[in-house]
Amino acid sequence: MIRAWSVFVAMPELPDIVVLTRSMNEVLPGRTIIDATVNQPKVLNKTVEVFISLITGRKIMQIRQRGKWILAELDKNLVLAFNLGMGGEIILHAAEEKPDPKKERVVLHLDNSKQLWIHFWWFGHVHLIESTEIHCHKQIGNLGVEPLSTEFSRGKLSDILSGRRGRIKSYLLDQRVIAGIGNVYIQDILWRARLHPERKANTLSDIDISLLHQAILVTLQEGIRYGGGPKEHDIWGNEGRYPEHYQVAYRTGKPCPRCQSIIEKIRVGSTTSYICPRCQT
């Protein structure tokens, strides 16, 4: 499989990870890892030798999502944890295909003559963790609430933001507060909630909280429904179609779907935001 890479490189977010996880669950459970190739040892949390020895012969049981992480449960109480960093993907390939060692960080060889190529440009991880130690993992163990879980109620969101004086956008992007939201989906979340990204969290009214809670659910569920965001793929390489349904995200100079005002691009801290100047005052 040969693909031209776009200059757009983003970090997969919760909808993208959910889509990828679901596709992995369709083909991987029951398969055994018979070998692995590590082209970038820095992405591991163990030495190459230990990593390969521990996963060789391990059967994949099921795959689940936690924030921006993919957790593949193996037999013998092990978990293979993937964080795809920037521009990441996990793609299933046939045995005869040859991975580019400069791009594919880790390749897993399966017992059905298939290969899993794990690719990311930077910041990605492939960690092997004991099942009982996941809560101690430096990153996974500190993740906040899952926004599509039953735990994430309107009251929970209110409690999370209570007393916080910083920008609302900063808290929504903080993985220790809410797990999985990034700078792609946050754009339409804030637009749907009629909130400016620089609005102080402790100024939100009960109505604001309700609108924000609903906006988070709707936007993330739309991302899943349309197969993920820009340049994100499922295990077969199918690209997400959520960009076809952006409301304000990446639509600088185009009319707001709600009021027809011209969408603006602004800088908020170290991130870029897209807003409607009338809807998001």
Rg for the chain (alpha carbons), in Å? 20
Q: For residue 101, count other CB atoms closer than 10 A to its CB.
A: 12
In the beta sheet, which residues pair with residue 35? 109
* Nearest Cα residue to 18 out of 215, 185, 142, 199: 185
Show the tokens assigned to 199: 């609005």
- Of the listed ranges 3-7, 111-115, 130-134, the one predicted with least confidence: 3-7
Mean pLDDT value of segment 27-41: 97
CB 94 within 8 A of CB 113: yes
Q: Give pLDDT, residue 75.
A: 95
**Predicted model pTM:** 0.94
- Phi, psi (degrees; rounded to nearest 5) at 68: -95, 15
Mean pLDDT rounded to a whole number for the chain: 94
CB 15 within 8 A of CB 220: yes
Walk me through the domains of the chain, giving residue ranges and CATH numbers.
14-142 (3.20.190.10), 154-275 (1.10.8.50)
Residue linked to tokens 């754009």: 187
Q: 42-82: per-residue pLDDT in tens?
A: 999 999 999 999 999 999 999 999 999 999 999 999 999 99
Q: What is the DSSP letter of 11?
A: -
Host H or E run for residue 146: none
